[in-house]
Structure 1
Amino acid sequence: MKRRLKQFGIWIALFTVLSGAGLFLLRGPLLRHIADRRIEALSARYGIRIAYVSLKMPSLTSVRVEGLSMVPFGRDTLLRLASAEVKLDFLPLLRGNLSIRKVDTEGLACTFVKQGMVSNYDFLFRSSGKSLSVPDADGGTSIGYAGRIERALGVLFRLLPEDAVMRRTVLTGRRDSVCTRFYMPEFVLDNRVYDSDIEVVEGDMRGKWHIGGTLDCGTRLIKGHLHSSEKGQRIVMPYIRPHYGAAVAFDSIAFSLAQEDPEADEQLLKGNAEINGLEVHHAALSPDTIGLNRWKIDYLLRAGERFIELDSATEVHFNRLSFHPFVRAEKKGRWHFTASVHRPPFPAQDLFSSLPAGLFRHVQGLQASGELSYDLCMDIDFNRLDSLKFSSDLRGHGFSIIRMGAADLARMSEEFEYTAYEHDQPVRTFLVGPSNPDFRPLSCISPLLQMAVMQSEDGSFFYHDGFYPGAIQEALAYDLQKGRFARGGSSITMQLVKNVFLNRHKNIARKLEEALIVWLIESQHLTSKKRMYEVYLNIIEWGPLVYGAAEASRFYFGKEPSDLSVSEAIFLASIIPKPKHFRSVFNSDATLRENQLEYYRVIARRLAAKGLMTEEEAETFCPDVQIKGEARKVLNEELIVNN
């Protein structure tokens, strides 16, 4: 029995040795057979031709390929590779896992081409028919965001080599007539440290960059930095200027990302990112170059099955400012976003010294004393937009302005020159004060018009500090529902600041500067509420090149603003949002449209509540608007054209 077992063991050992020897001797043909079948499947699925001149296995753990090319059908060549040798880790390979230990390439060239809507890389974004997640009974996924991050990082750190040498690597992007080329003479990854120079060419722009950092697959850590390799030069970002009309340049960028030990079913990512000397220029943001000396974030990112969260341990440094933001995005049906910032009192001058140059033009150089604190709270549930919550509160603590910046924010307190714009072009310039014969103090403007406009535009103007949180919250919810800027939610102070100090572009930068100027004017009482309302009624547009209550009263009714009737006052209030389209509220016989009547009755009831008419008059009110003067001619011409 023992003899038979011994003979059996010898045969098993001999079979194993012979099988191993056979596999070793036939490893090349077997590799090519597997590769060819895989290439055939990829070609059929994605419409690409993959070819090679030579494919070998110098050893059981190394693969060498020469003359590799990838060409999408009917498109430009995407990839060419003169040669590459990849060495694999043996033990993971025995378990069926691919883990790369070393890569050596020569002459890798990738060319991304897009002409109009056609590109040679669009197949990369086609679905493979497989999904990382499967819906569960609650509408969630069996593999949530934590699982996706773990899977993606697992693949990334498994495939990234411990050592690499890449010689003569070229990445080229051609979009229409613009060509951008990145050339690395030699990229070296040695003992977890990588380093390379990059030559960048785009049109007449030339740049020499240097990248370096650390890549540790064992601890799952990536660090990197980028700066110009030419002394005194900056990194000028290619591609952005020719395609988006923007210029972006900076001194250096640094980043790090580490995968921490998971907590429960959550993934934790920790790291930082820093950019120094950033400059951005785009006409839609500012006519001047926007400069940011230093921006840094030390972040802690959490991911669970259905959420991704920027933990409040995150700290953002912005020139001399720092704060801890909290942001959470949770997917339950549709997205639910929450965010908050709480910044305890800090020196007020830190804010004004940190504002990016060229962005907050009117407060640039402002000097202040005292302290400021700030709180932001936002809750947006796209499943229930009517539950949206938003509050933003900047508070001063012994705050005062020592010296104004580029603009005199108190200019509205005295007579000043105002310029009206249309499509960013100046159309009228006039004085706002007694020197202008069309200027009317509040005492010469009918209380009916004053109250009708206020109740229509900003009913609590004399009681709030420049912001009407309820209106902003409602406007934000409405805009999100419509997917565009459909409602502004601006207070009268905000409208004044926009018209007197700022351009009319609707963008985040302008809204931030607008909010800061409003806060400064209101909190420091730079202009009284009464004077602001007086300015407002004398500069707002009421029709084609019609500005102010005096011009509007003459244009529509041929009378002074002190003599307006209830109907006339409400009519003028009603057309402020769309002054050039006043004709749209009339029928073909010049009578008011039915859809206007409810608005008139609402404002009439509010006038009654303020004591400007009796409740009985308000309940029986029937608007009677008889357009006269120049407006009648415009209206008649429109009616003739339409008929």
Structure 2
Amino acid sequence: MKTQKQKIFLILKILIAVILIAIISVFCFRETLLQQAIAKTAKKIKTDYNSEFVVKKAGFEGLSGVNLTDITLVPKNADTLFRIQKMRTSVNIWRLLLGDVQLGTLEIKNGYIQLTKKGNIKNFAAFLKRNKSEENSTNKKDYASFAYRIISKVLNLIPTDMEVENLKFKLDDNGKKATIDIKKLVLLNKELETSIHVKTNTFAQRWQIKGFADPRNQKADLRFFNMDTGAIKVPYFDERYNLISSFDSIRLNIENIDKSGGELHIDGFTSIANLKINHAKIARKDVLIKNARFDYRLLLGSDFISVDSSSTVQFNKVKFHPYLAYETEEDTIYKLKVDIPKMKAQDFISSLPEGLFTHFEGMEAEGTFDYHLNFEYNKNKPNDLVFDSNLKKENLKITKYGEANLNKLNGEFIYRAIINNVLQRPVLVGMANPNFTPLDQISPYLQKCVLTTEDPSFFSHRGFINEAFKQSIIKNIKTKKFSRGASTISMQLIKNVFLTREKTLSRKLEEILLVYILENNRIVSKERMLEVYFNIIEWGPNVYGIGEASQFYFQKTPADLTFNECLFLARIIPSPKKFMYQFNDEGNFRESAVQQVSFLTNLMIRRGLLTADDTIFKKEPTILTGPAKSLLRIKIKDTTAIDSLKVSDEFEF
């Protein structure tokens, strides 16, 4: 009778024999299995993507090596997606038996991968479609599991040893072309080295990627730089988006990819040197960031994707901790938090990207500050938007101004508006200008009307109105465009006196910072700010300041304006050159203008700015008596008897 030990050995022998038989069977029939696998792949690509996948020749080499020749993928009625002349690879047999494809080595010689768009025909369009199982699925996606599965598959397909020669990546977007030609790429003993030629319609360069890559342990540390002199230019975006950008070098480091407790953690850092960007929507000139680094920790869960607050962003001497999150547990929620720890004001000013804050160049400051931003937007509850911006300062003081010398608002200066990049005529802001009007000589009605329409809390806020910002953000998100602003009189003053009307990111950021400095350092009194505002804003075609405006429309001084006239002048500030559209062809207000007058009058009464006595003449027509009248198109009825003059009974002027 066999012992228990003998039985165990017998079972092990049987298992080993079965495994050997299976391996021998696979080895013997592997050529057939390989052809079947290729045929199955070709059929699936044909069915799912309407494309032809062809391998002219395929065979095994040794125990795990596979040689493939002339591999092509051609979508129907479109350009070839890729063609590779020779490819040799090895597969981990043990992982393959477990149903997991993991490449050991890879050699590629002579081939190309191309993405083309000709008119509306894209040769890659079919491969961007979601498959049917995804379209029919009603289950929420588990972001952590999905991302980890994709990352694992990709890393398994990256071989531990690789050699690539003459592999081109081509892009042709209706004539906008770029070619990245990998002359040589070698990954050996976890060390990567490349030689890459790049060519577009506008430039040609040679690049190199060097560093450490370990796909099995999910780690990498790669550097990307130019083999020739000068910066690396980013291809395609210059032609496609008019975005000209370049950099000296980029470093990408992946330290850890780990999934545990239902969460996926990705840790590492990336850095860039001398990043230069030029785009008409960003700034008028090149924007340069000399040194920037992002130490990141990405967290993904079943229902969220986030950049953890332990991450750090640094550019020049500015360092802060961002928190970004996209959550879908119940509602779709976007979150952003920024914390800038206490830092020297001068370090912040000197770290601002060159070209983005031109009016701050040369500025000097003392003191410190810290800043905190909390933003949260619920897609299903947009009106619950959270926007909290808090800056704390200690002994903050501007000791030297740059190009924008805010002190000039306290004295006489020449103002010149810029419209469509054209400098307008000079306007002297000071008593030497006969049209200049001190604040105490401007009708109180006009002051009340303009403050009501433009900035009701002007004398109490510090340059910004948080609630207005929130409503502006809500409206812009809903319309998916910048359809509403949140400008205060302080912001309009800064924009008119120191900046331009260009709609760029640079101008808006400079406006925000300059307004904060103006309002929070007691540089100019509120009364002086309002006085300058009244004397420089555009009030009609080539009409600047209230002194010119009161004459242009009513042949009066600003002190003599009636309530009705003041209300008219306040209402046309947003579009002063279109004031004539307020009137119909009989010279009276259109119905829409009448409704605006009624609404604003009642609003001012409710706020205690007016009494019934102030509005006793509100029903009287507002009649233009100055030169502005000639710009109206009024039809005047002829009172002459019809039979006395054989002419039309009305005429236009």
TM-score by length of 1: 0.91
Q: Which moved more, 1:340-349 or 1:100-109?
A: 340-349
Q: What amino acid is the match of 1:224?
A: L
- Give the drift of 1:607: 4.5
- Equivalences for 1:257-272 in 2 at 5 Å? 257-272=254-269
- Equivalences for 1:386-465 in 2 at 5 Å? 386-465=383-462
Q: Distance in 2 between matches of 1:99 and 1:628?
A: 86
Q: Distance in 2 between matches of 1:116 and 1:637?
A: 51
SS in 1 for 2:426: strand
Shift of the 248–72 alpha-carbon distance from structure 1 to 2, 3 Å rule, reads same
- Give the drift of 1:87: 0.6
Q: Distance in 2 between matches of 1:315 and 1:113?
A: 38
Map of 1:227 onto structure 2 = 225
Partner deviation per Cα, 1:585-640 (whole Å, 9 max, x = no partner)? 33443333444445434533555577664256559954632233333332226999
Shift of the 580–225 alpha-carbon distance from structure 1 to 2, 3 Å rule, reads same
From 506, 515, 528, the counterpart of 2:503: 506
Q: Distance in 1 between matches of 2:142 and 2:199?
A: 42
- Give the drift of 1:93: 0.7
Map of 1:581 onto structure 2 = 578
Q: Distance in 2 between matches of 1:642 and 1:159?
A: 79
SS in 2 for 1:214: strand
Check the 8 A contact 1:605/1:619 in 2, yes or no: no
Map of 2:193 onto structure 1 = 195
Map of 1:35 onto structure 2 = 38
Q: What amino acid is the match of 1:527?
A: V
* Alignment of 1:111 onto 2:111: no
* Alignment of 1:156 onto 2:159: no
Map of 1:552 onto structure 2 = 549
* Alignment of 1:147 onto 2:145: yes
- Give the drift of 1:642: 12
Shift of the 635–73 alpha-carbon distance from structure 1 to 2, 3 Å rule, reads same
SS in 1 for 2:573: coil
Partner deviation per Cα, 1:432-459 (whole Å, 9 max, x = no partner)? 2223232212122111101110111111
Map of 1:294 onto structure 2 = 291
SS in 1 for 2:428: strand
Q: Distance in 1 between matches of 2:413 and 2:340?
A: 37
Shift of the 525–11 alpha-carbon distance from structure 1 to 2, 3 Å rule, reads closer
Q: What amino acid is the match of 1:345?
A: K
Check the 8 A contact 1:605/1:618 in 2, yes or no: no
Map of 1:348 onto structure 2 = 345
Map of 2:469 onto structure 1 = 472
SS in 2 for 1:459: coil
From 316, 320, 325, the counterpart of 2:317: 320
- Give the drift of 1:243: 2.4
Check the 8 A contact 2:277/2:288 in 1, yes or no: yes
Map of 2:53 onto structure 1 = 50
Q: Which moved more, 1:260-269 or 1:248-257?
A: 260-269
Check the 8 A contact 2:587/2:634 in 1, yes or no: no
Q: What amino acid is the match of 1:528?
A: S
Partner deviation per Cα, 1:179-203 (whole Å, 9 max, x = no partner)? 3222222211112221112121223
* Alignment of 1:25 onto 2:28: yes
- Give the drift of 1:641: 12
Partner deviation per Cα, 1:268-300 (whole Å, 9 max, x = no partner)? 111111111111122332222111111111111
* Alignment of 1:339 onto 2:339: no
Map of 1:85 onto structure 2 = 88
Check the 8 A contact 2:283/2:504 in 1, yes or no: no
Q: Distance in 2 between matches of 1:280 and 1:205?
A: 16
Q: Distance in 1 between matches of 2:23 and 2:95?
A: 18
Map of 1:205 onto structure 2 = 203
Map of 2:98 onto structure 1 = 95
Q: Distance in 2 between matches of 1:350 and 1:11?
A: 74
Shift of the 191–15 alpha-carbon distance from structure 1 to 2, 3 Å rule, reads closer
- Give the drift of 1:503: 2.2
Q: Distance in 1 between matches of 2:159 and 2:397?
A: 58
Shift of the 496–116 alpha-carbon distance from structure 1 to 2, 3 Å rule, reads farther
Check the 8 A contact 1:133/1:144 in 2, yes or no: no
Q: Distance in 2 between matches of 1:12 and 1:566?
A: 102
Q: Which moved more, 1:200-209 or 1:465-474?
A: 200-209
Q: Distance in 1 between matches of 2:42 and 2:133?
A: 18
- Give the drift of 1:151: 1.4
- Give the drift of 1:20: 5.2
- Give the drift of 1:178: 3.5
Shift of the 536–410 alpha-carbon distance from structure 1 to 2, 3 Å rule, reads same
Map of 2:600 onto structure 1 = 603
Check the 8 A contact 1:164/1:190 in 2, yes or no: yes
From 371, 375, 393, the counterpart of 1:374: 371
Q: What amino acid is the match of 2:195?
A: D
SS in 2 for 1:131: helix
Map of 2:479 onto structure 1 = 482
From 121, 131, 134, the counterpart of 1:131: 134
Map of 2:355 onto structure 1 = 358
Map of 2:76 onto structure 1 = 73
Partner deviation per Cα, 1:403-459 (whole Å, 9 max, x = no partner)? 111332222222222222333333433222223232212122111101110111111
Q: What amino acid is the match of 1:367?
A: E
Map of 1:177 onto structure 2 = 175
Shift of the 147–494 alpha-carbon distance from structure 1 to 2, 3 Å rule, reads same
Deviating beyond 6 angstroms after TM superposition, the runs of 4 or more aligned structure 1 residues are: 7-19, 638-643
Partner deviation per Cα, 1:97-150 (whole Å, 9 max, x = no partner)? 1111111111121222223332322222122223299434xxxx1x32112111
Q: Distance in 1 between matches of 2:64 and 2:96?
A: 8
- Equivalences for 1:515-530 in 2 at 5 Å? 515-530=512-527
Map of 2:624 onto structure 1 = 627
- Give the drift of 1:494: 0.5
SS in 2 for 1:103: strand
- Give the drift of 1:14: 9.0
- Sequence identity (%): 30
SS in 1 for 2:365: strand
Q: Distance in 1 between matches of 2:610 and 2:28?
A: 104
Q: Distance in 1 between matches of 2:470 and 2:12?
A: 80
* Alignment of 1:536 onto 2:533: yes
Check the 8 A contact 1:114/1:175 in 2, yes or no: yes
Q: Distance in 2 between matches of 1:172 and 1:625?
A: 67
Q: Distance in 2 between matches of 1:260 and 1:247?
A: 33
SS in 2 for 1:569: helix
Q: Which moved more, 1:617-626 or 1:274-283?
A: 617-626
Structure 2's unaligned 5+ residue stretches are 637-649
Q: What amino acid is the match of 1:370?
A: G
Shift of the 432–386 alpha-carbon distance from structure 1 to 2, 3 Å rule, reads same
Q: Distance in 2 between matches of 1:442 and 1:345?
A: 40
- The number of aligned residues is 635
